[in-house]
Amino acid sequence: MKVTYDANTCIHAGNCVNSLPAVFKVVDGQFMIDQAGASDAEIRQTVADCPSGALQIIETDTPG
């Protein structure tokens, strides 16, 4: 799976950063996603909780 982020859709509620700061973070003013920071299940739940829908999951053929 791959997590994508749409900056134009984001309302900056901060749910992702607060829920999984090891995965969703701001580095040097840029939003970053480090999928190695949590399990797929945790990431899927956080993406599902995104109030704006700015975070999406794209299923891939390879795990991770």
Q: Does 43 or 63 have the greater pLDDT score?
A: 43
Apex CA 32: angle with CA 50 and CA 5, to 5°? 40
Question: Does residue 29 sit within a domain?
Answer: yes
Element of type H or E holding 52: none
Assigned domain for 63 exists:
no
Model confidence band, residue 13 (pLDDT cutoffs 50, 70, 90): very high
Please report, for the domain that includes residue 50, its CATH number: 3.30.70.20
User: What's the whole-number mean pLDDT along residues 36-49?
Assistant: 98
pLDDT band, residue 61 (cuts 50/70/90): confident
Put simply, whether the predicted model's pTM sits higher than 0.85 gets the answer yes
pLDDT band at 46 (very low <50, low <70, confident <90, very high): very high
Residue 64 domain-assigned (yes or no): no
Three-state secondary structure call for residue 62: coil
